[in-house]
Amino acid sequence: MFTYIKCGEDAYLCCTLFIYMPNELFEQLDFVENPLFESIISDLLEKQYSIVDGFFTLEEVSLLRHSLLAKYEADRFKKSAIGNRTNEEIIKEIRGDFILWIDESRIHENEAEQLFFKKINELVDYLNRTCFMGILQKEFHYAVYPTGTFYKRHLDTFQNDDRRKLSVVCYLNEDNWKKEFGEELTLYTEEAEIDLLPLPGRVVIFESQVLEHEVKVVKSSERLSITGWLKTR
């Protein structure tokens, strides 16, 4: 980056001070506190999970739901797996959802996925800037749980791989979703079992390596979501 400087040591120093330092300072001054993200951080510090209602507006949820359903109806979803297990009978007793991974490098033609990653990336940048979380990777998939399916109590980390730091679940159910449909997300904290309804626009974030959780049986209709993980490298 100093190839244009021909006047030796002094000019080099000059350059670091007046070009690079101000950039760094500017980055600091540029920082605007975000109350929503701050509340997520304090929730995570305090109780290892955070529930954010309205993280996505109902309009955004509707766009995302249409994107999900178009791909689901085009038969692009696959039966979910568990770690490296392939025995379908065993898997069926543990989880029954169908998933489709979202490739962030191929979202330019999908308005819904663009707005999704814009918001998620804002959160990731904020976490990295304020908490030095070192999130360098993400993975997100659409999920559909048909009637009668569930995901038994589990942790979101794999053996020999602890890169998943935060689990992020975004619910895309219809506006008229009813709690009689069941399908709660239950978080098992040290103190209690917390049942969370998969309300449209709600996002639940929790520590992947710590919090065991479960998706209760879907009693009616289909349960729609995007689930993902913020990971260190």
Contacts to Mn ion by CB under 5 A: 156
Beta carbon nearer to ligand OGA, 53 or 125: 53
Whole-angstrom Cα distance, residue 125 to residue 122? 5
Among 60, 64, 227, 230, contact with ligand OGA (rule: CB under 6 A): 227
| Nearest to Mn ion of 111, 139 (CB atom) | 139
The mark string for 124-163 relative to ligand OGA (x by CB under 6 A, - otherwise) is: ---------------------------x----x-------
How far apart are CB 25 and ligand OGA at their closest, in Å? 42
Task: Please tell me whether residue 221 binds ligand OGA under the rule CB under 6 A.
Answer: no
Residue nearest to Mn ion (CB): 156
- By CB under 6 A, residue 185 contacts ligand OGA: yes
- CB distance 177 to 198 below 8 Å: yes
- Which of ligand OGA, Mn ion, none lies near 215, with the C-beta cut-off 5 to 8 A by kind? ligand OGA
The answer to whether residue 164 forms part of the interface with ligand OGA (CB under 6 A) is no
Chain position whose Cβ is nearest to ligand OGA: 185
Q: Which is nearer to Mn ion, 214 or 222 (CB)?
A: 214
Sheet of 193-196, strand order: 151-154, 212-215, 185-188, 193-196
Nearest approach, Cβ of 95 to Mn ion (angstroms)?
9
